[in-house]
Structure 1
Amino acid sequence: MLWLLSPSAVAQSAESEAPLTTIPVASSEPPAEAPLQRDRDAPVLLEEVIVTARKREERLQDVPVSVAAFSAEQLDARGIVSVRDLGTSVPGLQFTDLAGYNLIYLRGVGTDAFVPSADPSVATYLDGVYFPSGHSVVQSFGALERIEVLKGPQGTLFGRNSTGGAISIVTKTPDQQQENSLQASYGRFNDSKTRLYTTIPLTDELSTSVSVFYNRADNYYRIDNGRDTQLPTEIGKGARLRAAFTPTDDFSLVLTGMLMQQSGTSSTTSVNTQPSAILGASIPAETREYVVTADSEPSLRTTTAAYYGNATWQLPLLDIKLLGSHYYVNADDYVYDFDGSSQGIATYGADSEYQTIDTGELQFSSNAGTPGASWLKWVGGVYYLRSEGGYDPGYLTLTNIGLPVIGNLVDRLPAPLQNLLGGVPSLESLRFNFTGLIGAESWSGYTQATASVTDWFDITLGGRYQTEKRTLIRSDVGLNNLGGGLSTVVSFAPRSARVDNFSPKVSLDFRPADDLLLYASFQQGFKSATYNIINIYTPPDYIEPEKVESLEAGIKSDWFDRRLRINGAVFQNNIRNLQTGFVSFTTGGAINFENAGRARIRGAEVDITTAPLREWNPGLVLTAGGSWLKAIYTDYQNGSGYDEQTGLAFTNGDFTGNRIVRTPKFSGSAGISQTLDVGDGELELAGNYYYNSGYFYLAQNSPVSFEGHYDLISARLSYLYRPWQLKLTLFGDNLGDTRYNLAQFHTDFGREDTLAPPITYGLRLNWDF
């Protein structure tokens, strides 16, 4: 009976039946198919987005992969201005923060460690290039084509460290059309954001574009530590230059360079809300308000530079693409009050925490002229990555050595280290300098093919083979001495390990009716082995590679002449050697990194968009989405945690059966948008509601580590004056002034909280000219 609801049962659509393609080919071979286009007759939120989730252009609704995709217009319509904002619009996507790192969980899979050797489990791609640093995920958008969020392991096509999924950001490629846009906003806390984009055609073959941004805001926290100090202003600035060279119809070269810098505090602004019983005994408990009493003034500055390019040849029988990149990120002026109080006890930081990554990829894909193109589409290639990074150095400083809390801390260190300290009581402070550098070299080859067995049934087979060598380049610890210098007291021998892996994929997809896709898939993902690089008095631990195996069944559908879109999926992820982090000075280092044995995640998600009154009120659009997850550790023994009575760390916990960290049982959102024609313009009123059921920050699931449920309300009122393409938007976020954490940080001294921003509001201008 599904055909009764299918729009094609009433009127066949030539556009919906057009065969799919990759990149058009101009040659004497069979004619290339027209580039795919979005359905501009639909409301913005129901427009068809063209995605490259399978490394070729396809309509979102035709891809048998769970993907949330947003065009630039849809991002604007939803009020999404940064990657972090996706968390309230994409079911199952969870953003948290820790010491300046952006920790992303997708369907319960993520990484909660904030060290350069702990790669994110959700891979981030910018214009097809892999950017693995957790520091650089949240950035101001330039002029975008779209953002795609691919859910579930993407090991075949997106490779290493995509066990949770991938976020792909695609920016505009400069062309021969002059284009200029300006976005400027001003809001609470003197939050000003300015972004300018322009395209500059130089010749018939060469065009460039420039995108620059500058953001400045006062900190929504204030500091009260008995001194006349101020928290640093939050500043983000950067520029991106792109050049597109198209000398012939079948060859193009696009080169990009960008430089960004973020400075301020990020989540290094935190307060100790629940001090531990022993090491935190002298620390007064703070409140969940926007006041920090840190003795060490928090700060963080991150500089990112990247240069990348891609060359594409459209040949008669296949397409060839070559991609290359150089990427560098460095966090310096990094200061974190480790005890989270006004007392001078412990400070963690880094003079230089960096990563440098070089990548190269050679890709081959079928096109309209490839033999068998009518029933077979394929892609394959080879990929190379070389990286190096770490702390050079990082540090942990203990001050006021005479305080009882420091005496307790030193007394709990292993006897060999206590002997090394020797004259500690005569020092005013004790500084551990830890240098930890790690390198990686990775090669992989991949292929994936989709065969149309019938006009309603496709089968996809793929696989990726990867070999990677991880090297612990350097790991040593220095200690300050009575002469004021630093002496190396512990030096660990370099180590290396090689791991090989094969990640397969099988997908079956069925089209029983037009605008209805059913699919079932099996796929695996692989996350690289690594080393724990912050070690003060224990050898660096080897961290086993993380492997995810996923089963998924899903539906993509449009109903009632595309008035209603329902996409959904059910899935199960089985994880082996889940990589997880733990923070404690008394168990070997300031930050520990370990494997959590096995875990299982069962879930379901749905995403609904509808224009219920398209004839009578075409400007009314409703959205809703939800994610249900049952995420547990199925075998997690010898885990690290804190004693709930004393606050002292242990390493022999059994967390089997506990909930996976940073993963709510339910999260979901609902939105409404009403657009009306007013004179020469368009008036839009929109609102969004988001609910999160809460989650644990520690694998031991102690009550002190639980973030309770919270909800968020946002609203926008905008007017677009069409003759000038000028849009003004009045916006408000967290209108209920909900108190919830952007970050929660557990140490030997207790629990430290960093609240997310309170109610914010402002005015934003968008002008295309």
Structure 2
Amino acid sequence: MATKSAEETLRKGTTMGRKLWITTSSVVLLWAGAVQAQQVDDPETRVGTDQADVLGDVVVTAERRTSNLQTTAVAATVLSGDDLTNKAVTSLDQLQFAAPSTTIQNFGQGNFFNVRGIGKSEATTAVGVGVITYRDGVAAFPAYFQTEPYYDIGSLELLRGPQGTFAGANATGGAVFITARNPDFSGINGYVFGQVGNYSDIKLQGAINLPLTQTLAARLAFNHETRDSFYTITGPYRGRPGVVDSNSVRASLLWQPTDALKVLWKTDYNNIDLGGYPADPALATNDPFKITSNGPNEAHDEFVRSSVNVSYVFDSGMTLKSITGYQAGRSRFATDLDGTAALNNTFADQLDEEVWSQEFNLISPDQQRLKWLLGLYYQYDMARFPAKTFPTAEYRIGFPENVLDIYLWGDTPKETAAIFGQVSYDISDRVQVQLGARYAHSVSTNDDVYTTYPQFGIVLFQDDEVKDDKVTGKVTLNWKVDDSNFVYGFVATGHKGGGLNAPNLYRPALTFGSEDLVDYELGWKSTLLGGRLRSQVGAYYTVYQDFQVNIGDPQFPQVSRIQNIQGDTTLMGVEASLQGRFGPLSFDVAGSLSSSEMGDFFGADPRLGRTGVCNPSTGPASANCVNISGNTKSYAPEATFNAGIEYAFPLGANMTLTPRVDYAHIGESWTTIFNNAALGDRLGARDIVNASIRLNTGPWTWAAYALNATDETYIAAINSGLRYAGPPRQYGLNLTRTF
């Protein structure tokens, strides 16, 4: 490995330090003005204050016990179901416009979900995710089956930074915890919702809560949407590209025979047909909604998830929890690989996946100086690419189709077992120390995997496994300065396991190593103006080791394989958010500024033809053997910002008229480690405005809405040389009836 000179190391450290100093200084200057208006949030100051005039408490549950966000050492965005509706966050894609440091590149069957530039950036099942999503306490399918809509949601918690204690190996960048609304015993209640919009959009949604007995309650919910395509396509293409037919249902049962025992069962079924994801070449200059294609189009997910959450509180106050999950799904995807009608390069596949999981938590009572939690976790994940008849399969790449085809099939199971825990000790009434750790053992297998080239009669076979053992965790110091200010600092670690490359014509399958990172954070949370204003600000510095990338093989550059970048990648930044409520006026603001630099590493860009070797340590450097040192980490924009504001005008007779505007900015970023704009690596900035106006008359709410109200044309994702356009302006009317 090439050794950095002392001057080079000092230069990089000085450059990144200067960026962070400028960033931090800006936040501090803004913060000083807010602090001047601060008053101690003593309960006495709230006497005579209308509770509708202040912000309610926000709680987080991701650390397996309920705690107040303002006194929890975590950088998080927490949104209620109403928040999601008001901000028009109805799926994963829109979440990036409501949370800082978050980007989501959706290109069809999978997505690149990154927080602070850490997550997933390779479209292969061999590379794990870095931001894991939990649905009702169950870790959802990793990276796939992410098209499930957000409906009848109780809360969404997006935690930034490694969550190595509670979420484990797939949470190096963060974790999302989504909880659907639970049944309760408050009575028969619910809502129905209808919407019509442009592109022939029709959406129907609803839920009903049913207390069946004094100890048994049920909740049923559904979501249905159909919509025409945004695209005009000349072919001859196949399929229904961009046409939406989405159907989801959820059934929940709550059994609570005593105050101590609670059993919650939920089952979701989703049948989501998005028709396909039309795309054209990354460097194209035409209207991205007017494209040519002569390939197949398909994007159809069908999956079910069932969970059983059991909680029992002992007489001592200790709680035992069990969370059991089962998921099964089938995802079919097809696309035109070259994105034009000029060639006949195609891709199509079917993925069948089944996941079993079990978690146990033993949690101490909250009302004691020493608090602790102990957990056990097990997951079995079987991803299967089915065969047709030898030598063909559902997974097919055509270069061009029927002339040079590559088929792949086989099983890729993964098994994970972990033990984790956290201890919190109150040194005093205001100072607390926390220690969390997780030990995980996992096995990834390519079980009877075949790759065939039928036109040449070539069959490649793989039957191999990779094992991984790792301890991750977090050490935290919390300081409650007073009733209004909370300060924390911690060091956390994250880990993502290695895996197996598929064999190719030039060499047998090779393994690639795991990723590790260390994250240092400081944070300050305040409650101002008697509960009318809340703020959170934090800074982080992350050292990322052995980043996994899919680039040209050092010896055989004509093929790609997953490798580890040898030099350290460093990321740093600041994040700040503010929420306020002053009677009928409500607003929220959040933003981030960040900087990242890749370490010393010579990478072979497989998009550029060349001969010879490209040694990761020594090169030699050339136009297509690039030292990426100093390049920006992929999917790590330097700036993100989002803000929303609404005002409820009283009209009398229990009527209110509430206009709302939300604005989001995501800065430009790079889509590969090579940062090569000439090859289409630059993903441009986007500025999205959503607007709505709601008329509420008791149980009825009428609303007019406009998404991407300025009709900004932007590219939402770039993958494999193709660009995917973000949604154009959508507008319409909806009506909600609560009961």
What residue number does 1:718 align with? 694
Range with greater deviation from structure 2 (388-397 or 216-225): 388-397
CA distance 1:534–1:387, shift in 2 (3 Å): farther
- Output the CA distance in 2 between the equivalents of 1:590 and 1:254: 50
- Displacement of 1:381 in angstroms is 1.1
- Displacement of 1:432 in angstroms is 1.5
CA distance 1:496–1:512, shift in 2 (3 Å): same
1:527 lines up with 2:496 in the alignment: yes
Q: For 1:53, what is the secondary structure of its paired residue?
A: coil
What residue number does 2:329 align with? 329
**Which stretches in structure 2 are left out of the alignment for 5+ residues?**
1-31, 387-392, 615-622
- Displacement of 1:589 in angstroms is 9.5
- 8 Å CA contact 2:41, 2:527 repeated in 1: no
- 8 Å CA contact 1:534, 1:592 repeated in 2: no
What residue number does 2:298 align with? 299
Q: After superposition, where does 1:673-752 map in structure 2 within 5 Å?
A: 673-679=646-652, 680-703=654-677, 704-722=680-698, 725-746=699-720, 751-752=721-722
- Displacement of 1:756 in angstroms is 0.6
What residue number does 2:396 align with? 395
- Displacement of 1:40 in angstroms is 8.9
**Which stretches in structure 1 are left out of the alignment for 5+ residues?**
16-38, 275-284, 401-427
What residue number does 1:595 align with? 564
Q: What letter corresponds to residue 762 of structure 1 in structure 2?
A: G
- Displacement of 1:590 in angstroms is 8.7
1:668 to 641, 649, 655: 641
Q: What letter corresponds to residue 735 of structure 2 in structure 1?
A: L
- 8 Å CA contact 2:240, 2:297 repeated in 1: no
Q: After superposition, where does 1:87-236 map in structure 2 within 5 Å?
A: 87-176=96-185, 177-225=187-235, 231=241, 233-236=243-246
What residue number does 2:63 align with? 54
- Output the CA distance in 2 between the equivalents of 1:589 and 1:473: 26
CA deviations over 1:163-184 (Å, ceiling 9, x no partner): 0010000112212222221222
CA deviations over 1:390-435 (Å, ceiling 9, x no partner): 43241111337xxxxxxxxxxxxxxxxxxxxxxxxxxx62322112
Q: For 2:296, what is the secondary structure of its paired residue?
A: coil
What residue number does 1:443 align with? 417
1:242 lines up with 2:275 in the alignment: no
- 8 Å CA contact 2:690, 2:708 repeated in 1: yes
What residue number does 1:381 align with? 375
CA distance 1:720–1:594, shift in 2 (3 Å): farther
- 8 Å CA contact 2:93, 2:106 repeated in 1: no
- Output the CA distance in 2 between the equivalents of 1:591 and 1:604: 35
Q: After superposition, where does 1:278-293 map in structure 2 within 5 Å?
A: 287-293=286-292
- Output the CA distance in 1 between the equivalents of 2:251 and 2:300: 22
Range with greater deviation from structure 2 (453-462 or 435-444): 435-444
- Output the CA distance in 2 between the equivalents of 1:391 and 1:264: 21
Q: For 2:648, what is the secondary structure of its paired residue?
A: strand
Instruction: Return the TM-score normalized by structure 1.
Output: 0.84
Q: After superposition, where does 1:15-34 map in structure 2 within 5 Å?
A: none
- Output the CA distance in 1 between the equivalents of 2:182 and 2:237: 50
- Displacement of 1:10 in angstroms is 8.2
- Output the CA distance in 1 between the equivalents of 2:83 and 2:463: 49
- 8 Å CA contact 1:64, 1:509 repeated in 2: yes
CA deviations over 1:263-289 (Å, ceiling 9, x no partner): 1245x3101253xxxxxxxxxx56133
CA deviations over 1:595-648 (Å, ceiling 9, x no partner): 23331110101111234xx3xxx21223221111112212333354533999xx
- Output the CA distance in 1 between the equivalents of 2:246 and 2:559: 28
Identity of aligned residues (%): 20
- Displacement of 1:469 in angstroms is 1.4
Q: For 2:133, what is the secondary structure of its paired residue?
A: strand
CA distance 1:299–1:292, shift in 2 (3 Å): farther
Q: What letter corresponds to residue 716 of structure 2 in structure 1?
A: L
- Displacement of 1:463 in angstroms is 0.6
Q: For 1:638, what is the secondary structure of its paired residue?
A: strand
- 8 Å CA contact 1:537, 1:589 repeated in 2: no
Q: What letter corresponds to residue 695 of structure 1 in structure 2?
A: S
- Displacement of 1:229 in angstroms is 7.5
CA distance 1:537–1:762, shift in 2 (3 Å): farther
- Displacement of 1:356 in angstroms is 1.5
CA deviations over 1:35-80 (Å, ceiling 9, x no partner): xxxx992458x33222213211112212111111011222233232
Q: After superposition, where does 1:228-377 map in structure 2 within 5 Å?
A: 231=241, 233-266=243-276, 268-274=277-283, 287-317=286-316, 318-332=318-332, 334-350=333-349, 352-367=350-365, 373-377=367-371
Q: What letter corresponds to residue 125 of structure 1 in structure 2?
A: Y
Q: What letter corresponds to residue 358 of structure 2 in structure 1?
A: G
Q: What letter corresponds to residue 213 of structure 2 in structure 1?
A: T
Aligned residues: 683
- Output the CA distance in 1 between the equivalents of 2:408 and 2:558: 9
- Output the CA distance in 1 between the equivalents of 2:562 and 2:50: 49
- Output the CA distance in 1 between the equivalents of 2:715 and 2:115: 18
What residue number does 1:6 align with? 39
CA distance 1:593–1:9, shift in 2 (3 Å): same
Q: For 2:144, what is the secondary structure of its paired residue?
A: helix
1:76 to 70, 75, 85: 85
CA distance 1:766–1:532, shift in 2 (3 Å): farther
- Output the CA distance in 2 between the equivalents of 1:157 and 1:720: 41
CA distance 1:481–1:634, shift in 2 (3 Å): closer
- Output the CA distance in 1 between the equivalents of 2:406 and 2:450: 10
CA distance 1:3–1:299, shift in 2 (3 Å): closer
CA distance 1:5–1:481, shift in 2 (3 Å): closer
